[in-house]
Amino acid sequence: MSYLIYLAGLVQLCILSASALVPFRLKWREIFKSLPPLHRQLYWVYGGYVVLGILSGGLICFFNSDQLADHSQLSRWYCGYLAVFWGVRLSLQAFLKVEEFLTNDLLKMGYNALTAAFFLLTILFSAVAFGL
């Protein structure tokens, strides 16, 4: 299980690289210009919190995979948190209107790969959280 958690850390860090493209691909600066400054700032703050959440989750898994696999109460609760985090993100896939932005096969493959990653992360962290 430790090795899978280690790989999950790498996957989360890879997801972060995809997240870094979102503001550019979705033209946030241009789109958000019509919003009041506070709304623009909040989008960046919320985005920053998500990035920090993914970064910390990835690094904790990468550097502490043995401890997260030890079935301690802390590891189970933390993996439970990650299961909820990625489970919520997975469930959002059904509601996000992304079709207009998936303009080529590479973007469609990337979107499907992200969906698969969200699913696998949810399953893995759920298994650890429940002591399986």
Which structure tokens are listed for 129?
Answer: 């959280």
Provide the pLDDT for residue 68: 96
pLDDT top residue among 74 and 104: 74
What is the distance between the terminal CA atoms of the chain, rounded to a whole angstrom?
9
Closest CA to 111 of 92, 125, 129: 92
Domain ranges of the chain: 2-129
* Rounded Cα–Cα distance for residues 7 and 36 (Å): 41
The number of beta carbons lying within 10 Å of the beta carbon of residue 129 is: 19
- Averaged pLDDT, 41-45: 89
pLDDT top residue among 78 and 41: 78
Provide the pLDDT for residue 82: 97
H helices of the chain, where? 2-25, 28-32, 37-63, 65-68, 73-92, 105-129
Share of the chain above pLDDT 70, in %: 100
CB 8 within 8 A of CB 124: yes
Reported as a pLDDT band with limits 50, 70 and 90, residue 132 is: confident
Provide the pLDDT for residue 79: 97
Whether the full predicted model's pTM is greater than 0.85, yes or no, is: yes
Q: Is the pLDDT of residue 6 over 90?
A: yes
Distances (CA, A) of 63 to 1, 9, 60, 121: 14, 8, 5, 17
CB 28 within 8 A of CB 43: yes
Provide the pLDDT for residue 47: 87
Burial label, 68 (beta-carbon count in 10 A; 0-12, 13-18, 19+)? buried
- Averaged pLDDT, 107-128: 94
